[in-house]
Chain A
Amino acid sequence: MATTDRKEQTGGAGAWRKRYEATPEREGELFSTISGVENEPLYSPENVDLDYERDLGWPGAYPFTRGVYPSMYRGRLWTMRQFAGFGTAEETNTRFRYLLEHGQTGLSTAFDMPTLMGYDSDHARSLGEVGREGVAIDSLADMETLFDGIPLGEVSTSMTINGPAAMLLAFYACVGEEQGVPLEQLRGTVQTDILKEYIAQKEWIFPPQPSMRLVVDMIEWCSERLPLMHPVSISGYHIREAGSNAAQELAFTLADGFAYVEACLERGLDVDAFAPRLSFFFNAHLDFFEEIAKYRAARRIWAQQMREKYGARDPRSWLMRFHTQTAGVSLTAQQPEVNLIRTAIEALAAVLGGTQSLHTNSFDEALALPTEHAVRLALRTQQVIAHETGVVNTIDPLGGSYYLEQLTNELERQACDYFERIEELGGVIPAIEQNFMQREIAEASFRYQSEVERGERVVVGVNRYEMEEEQPLEILRIDPALERKQIERVQAVRERRDAAAAETALTRLKEDAAHDDRNLMEPIMAASRAYVTMGEMCDALREVWGTWRETPVF
């Protein structure tokens, strides 16, 4: 039977709409994504503009909408990479070994707040914070302990560090040297994404310009010396956690990515020499289709801009590889076991969106750092998706869904609007200085909170299906004695080292920092080998570059 005949029989879209409108919709709830994108009741060829070859293409080929590899998970599953770190290097080393024994395939390091802010553990600002939200690393000595018994030639390690990223990468490279592993064999990712710190996570040290210089120094040095290291992981995760919506996460992350590309080009680097090593990091929130659309739109935009705007010729420069973490912000302290279900759904979205690696949050993380039991369940969630659901058998299995394709187009459109607005403000750094992204995020965050408080958005256990809380959960407690122990460690390192060598290395770092045309990675490597601490190096650079302070908006 011809299509037209069938349409005559069923009446087509017009008839469906009449029948649809005859039934009342549920009252009092929103029919929009969690980010506020209005949803039509139905998507069909009539409301999707799609040219298959242009917009989707084939996995592993431009514009990579359907995935960055030709075989995707049929060739190799994503890396299951649980973020871990607390207390001192010894405690975290034990957790690392535990995770490797339970089938984890990559390491991911969480540093404590003083480390993130560039303070040693014995700094006055570190009081009460040492080892609380991650591991405390003050010098090469701590890094040696952290990776004790873990052969760096065989693992890939991710380090969530930004302000002092150059120092932590240098410590890691020095441990590699000590283990006899050639630098060119070290694999992993350093986050290094300072722009999103000003926008969202707010763990900064220096002002934007010298910070950008340090990022470019790292990119340049890695492309020459550590070719298997991803020197930057351009992160939307924290932007989303700070309260942004999906389109803002997408737009601000990509805008940051382009800003790094432009900074490297200004340095005179060849785009194809560094672009293949740039990687990304996104959030997996609860709005299932919106998240999948976000990843697909991200790949397509990146490929188009890298090829068309920045003139990259190597296809590896076009493809966006990314890590994903489920949304911490979606976890509830109420009925915390329900978080297992949220995380599973979010993880499934990340996999259907074609992520290269994944961290699943533990269900107790709205209460404290996760226990071993909770971490194991989080890892098992990924294993169930990988081995039991069958979603890995087909590449981009949702590709071609009318709804998903329309949403992918819509997120791309919203992101492009943001690119224009940022451009009008003079680029990413001027926009940060004018609080543009910060204000947009605060608006989105407040809007969402208001929807929840009005009951238009349901959060199970929080504003519906509440109940008296059962037994309090067993939570991980950080022993307050660890802080004292870590302070003693860093002080002992300073006592023990060759004082003259440390002094010489620090002086050289300061001098090189004052000259914009000198790459700081070698002086930082030299200071690391001399057991100069991370805080001392940051202090030296603070002296030369100054610090950053934002004017907050709410």
Chain B
Amino acid sequence: MAGKIRVVVAKPGLDGHDRGAKIIARALRDAGMEVIYTGLHQTPEQIVETAIQEDADAVGISILSGAHMTLVPRILELLRENGVEDVVVVVGGTIPEDDADELRKLGVAGVFGPGAPTTEIVDFLKGAVAA
């Protein structure tokens, strides 16, 4: 595809665990993507607004607060309501396997747990955005 892949790395919810989000943001940038990091404590509305404003190809959601089953579906819903459901959504964090299955059913393209190498996430996004 033409141009750089534009990714919004987003931290919804109230948890402040941003080690993973920052590592991923940097790895994506080093892989040649345009990365917009939202910072912490974002509402689903703020995240979707950023994704639209930044004309993002993908949104990477990092969440370790346990609220993923509330916040991620809400983000997907808002993307649909705003007509930008073509944005690739991936989620990273401590997501139990059952929840990950459920999130995939709802439209999340990929779920990455602790220990996932950044290269795997980079490759996945390149594939998913090109598709």
Instruction: Give residues in A with beta carbon < 8 Å to B.
Output: 113-114, 116-117, 119, 125-129, 132-133, 197, 201-203, 241-243, 329, 331-334, 366-369, 442, 445-446, 449, 453, 459, 462-463, 472, 475, 477-478, 480, 549-552, 554
Residues of B within 8 A of A462 (CB): 115
Cβ contact of A453, chosen from B19, B26, B119, cutoff 8 A: B119
Q: Could you say which of B61-69, B82-90, B103-111 contacts chain A?
A: B61-69
CB proximity of A272 to chain B, nearest CB, Å: 35
Q: Is B81 an interface residue (CB 8 A)?
A: no
Q: Is B77 an interface residue (CB 8 A)?
A: no
Cβ contact of A334, chosen from B16, B18, B115, cutoff 8 A: B115
Q: Is B50 an interface residue (CB 8 A)?
A: no
A333 and B113 contact, Cβ closer than 8 Å, known pairs A117-B14, A241-B19, A552-B37: yes
Q: Is B78 an interface residue (CB 8 A)?
A: no
In the bound complex, CA of A116 to CA of B40 (Å): 14
Residues of B within 8 A of A554 (CB): 21-23, 25-26, 29, 35, 37
Q: List 8 A-B contacts (CB under 8 A).
A: A127-B67, A129-B65, A242-B17, A333-B94, A445-B23, A462-B115, A472-B97, A552-B22
In the bound complex, CA of A374 to CA of B56 (Å): 42
CB proximity of A125 to chain B, nearest CB, Å: 7
Q: Is B41 an interface residue (CB 8 A)?
A: yes
Residues of A within 8 A of B26 (CB): 442, 446, 554
Cβ contact of B19, chosen from A116, A125, A197, A242, cutoff 8 A: A242
Cβ contact of A116, chosen from B14, B18, B23, B113, cutoff 8 A: B14
In the bound complex, CA of A477 to CA of B19 (Å): 24
A445 and B19 contact, Cβ closer than 8 Å, known pairs A332-B114, A453-B119: yes
In the complex, chain B residues 4-44 whose Cβ is within 8 Å of any chain A Cβ: 13-19, 21-23, 25-27, 29, 35, 37, 39-41, 43
Cβ contact of A442, chosen from B22, B66, B70, cutoff 8 A: B22
Residues of A within 8 A of B27 (CB): 449
Q: Is B117 an interface residue (CB 8 A)?
A: yes
Residues of A within 8 A of B29 (CB): 554
Cβ contact of B13, chosen from A128, A329, A552, cutoff 8 A: A128
CB-CB nearest 9 A-B residue pairs: A128-B70, A202-B16, A132-B66, A128-B67, A113-B14, A554-B22, A552-B39, A333-B114, A243-B19
The total of chain B residues at the interface (CB under 8 A) is 35
In the bound complex, CA of A116 to CA of B97 (Å): 27
Q: Say whether A332 contacts B14, CB under 8 Å.
A: no
In the bound complex, CA of A369 to CA of B94 (Å): 10
Q: Is B129 an interface residue (CB 8 A)?
A: no
Q: Say whether B14 contacts A125, CB under 8 Å.
A: yes
In the bound complex, CA of A202 to CA of B39 (Å): 10
Q: Say whether B18 contacts A368, CB under 8 Å.
A: no
Q: Say whether A446 contacts B115, CB under 8 Å.
A: no
A478 and B66 contact, Cβ closer than 8 Å, known pairs A125-B14, A453-B118, A472-B97: yes
Residues of B within 8 A of A369 (CB): 66
In the bound complex, CA of A209 to CA of B9 (Å): 30
CB proximity of B121 to chain A, nearest CB, Å: 11
Cβ contact of B14, chosen from A129, A329, A463, A549, cutoff 8 A: A129
Q: Say whether A449 contacts B23, CB under 8 Å.
A: yes
Residues of B within 8 A of A334 (CB): 115
Cβ contact of A203, chosen from B16, B37, B114, cutoff 8 A: B16
CB proximity of B8 to chain A, nearest CB, Å: 13
Q: Say whether B18 contacts A202, CB under 8 Å.
A: yes
CB proximity of A72 to chain B, nearest CB, Å: 34
In the bound complex, CA of A332 to CA of B19 (Å): 15
Cβ contact of B65, chosen from A133, A242, A367, A463, cutoff 8 A: A133
Q: Say whether A201 contacts B70, CB under 8 Å.
A: no
Q: Is B52 an interface residue (CB 8 A)?
A: no
In the bound complex, CA of A334 to CA of B113 (Å): 10
Residues of A within 8 A of B35 (CB): 554
A368 and B65 contact, Cβ closer than 8 Å, known pairs A333-B115, A445-B23: no
Nearest residue, chain A, Cβ from B18: A202
Residues of B within 8 A of A133 (CB): 15, 65-66
Q: Say whether A332 contacts B18, CB under 8 Å.
A: no
Nearest residue, chain B, Cβ from A466: B115
Q: Say whether A129 contacts B16, CB under 8 Å.
A: no
CB proximity of B20 to chain A, nearest CB, Å: 9
Q: Is B71 an interface residue (CB 8 A)?
A: yes
Q: Say whether B94 contacts A368, CB under 8 Å.
A: yes
Q: Is B96 an interface residue (CB 8 A)?
A: yes
Q: Say whether A132 contacts B115, CB under 8 Å.
A: no
CB proximity of B68 to chain A, nearest CB, Å: 8
Residues of B within 8 A of A119 (CB): 14
Residues of B within 8 A of A551 (CB): 39
CB proximity of A256 to chain B, nearest CB, Å: 16
Residues of B within 8 A of A332 (CB): 114-115
Q: Say whether A550 contacts B118, CB under 8 Å.
A: no
CB proximity of B18 to chain A, nearest CB, Å: 6
Residues of A within 8 A of B40 (CB): 202, 550, 552
Q: Say whether B115 contacts A114, CB under 8 Å.
A: no
Q: Chain A CB within 10 Å — which of B19, B25, B43, B119 has the most?
A: B19
CB proximity of B17 to chain A, nearest CB, Å: 8
Residues of B within 8 A of A366 (CB): 94, 114-115
Nearest residue, chain A, Cβ from B39: A552
Residues of B within 8 A of A197 (CB): 16
CB proximity of A481 to chain B, nearest CB, Å: 13
A128 and B94 contact, Cβ closer than 8 Å, known pairs A133-B66, A333-B114, A453-B118: no
CB proximity of A260 to chain B, nearest CB, Å: 21
Q: Say whether A552 contacts B114, CB under 8 Å.
A: no
In the bound complex, CA of A442 to CA of B24 (Å): 11
